[in-house]
Amino acid sequence: MEAGLTSAMPTSRIAQLENVNVRFGKGSNAFLALDRTNLTVHPGDFVAMVGPSGCGKSTILKLVAGLLRPTEGHVFVAGREVGAERIGIGMAFQNPTMLPWLTIRENIMLPLKIVQPYAATFRRDKRTVFYDRAEGLLAKVGLTGFGDRRPWELSGGMLQRANLCRALVHSPKLLMLDEPFGALDQFTREELWSILQELWMETRPTVFLVTHDLREAAFLASRILVMSARPGRVTEDRQVDLARPRTLETTFQPEFTDLTNDLRRLIVEARQAKEPAQ
């Protein structure tokens, strides 16, 4: 998918939120979902966002993707204020919605059919270069031979693998992941962490990951943002310097468990903090 963009910002920052407020609802039902939020993200960052339910994590994702406008403040993406030009964005959500009448390969190739410059040559390249690109991604996520299957023939874990392929097939600069592994069992989830890490290390897109799983955040991210309860603000911006590639062994190291314990404490505190008057 694509976000529109206008006006300028240094390109060393791929995304920036400046004093952003987001208010939902009208009249007496109006409430502040995000409160004067500031955030700078650099190209190649893998940012995980954690925080109490309803604190505004997905709202930040939507702002950066251009799906939502701030009520006040500014959102810049790739040097432009969200609103005019275009940047390639890949997205994956908890529910890997695939079109049931298409094969897995055709589903994966969908962004190439829609997003320029790929769309211009889609008819020509769908049986050659784009086909190989989809097959290459399928191989990386362990789905070789499943390209011709239909979505209903695959398990939830397999669909989420295919979903990652679809999010990455057009080499997006920004990858937005909203609880992508939330519905999967722990083993499949941990397998997909490693696959996602590998894919990220190869092409280094900037990633925004929303997750409730603190181990997932610590395993994958280079930065973890902890948010306060609604109205959300970023209260902690933690650099994660654990060596890559991280493995399941990493998750047993004291640095890792200390980090996840710290995050847990911060979120418990955020949940207990009283919501300020609006």
Ligand X SMILES: Nc1ncnc2c1ncn2[C@@H]1O[C@H](COP(=O)(O)OP(=O)(O)OP(=O)(O)O)[C@@H](O)[C@H]1O
Which parts of this chain interact with ligand X (CB under 6 A)? 24-25, 33, 51, 53-59, 210, 230
**Alpha-carbon torsion angle 105, 179, 46, 160, nearest 10:** -20
Q: Cβ closer to ligand X: 112 or 174?
A: 174
DSSP string across 47-94: EEEE-STTSSHHHHHHHHHTSS--SEEEEEETTEEETSEEEEEEEEES
Q: Cβ closer to ligand X: 25 or 142?
A: 25
Q: Cβ closer to ligand X: 248 or 273?
A: 273
Residue 98 vs residues 136, 161, 166, 180, 260: alpha-carbon distances, Å: 19, 12, 10, 14, 33
Minimum CB distance to ligand X, residue 1 (Å) = 18
Minimum CB distance to ligand X, residue 63 (Å) = 10
Amino acid at 92: A
Q: Cβ closer to ligand X: 5 or 60?
A: 60
Q: Cβ closer to ligand X: 72 or 132?
A: 72
d(CA 207, CA 201): 11
Minimum CB distance to ligand X, residue 6 (Å) = 23
Minimum CB distance to ligand X, residue 236 (Å) = 15
Minimum CB distance to ligand X, residue 208 (Å) = 12
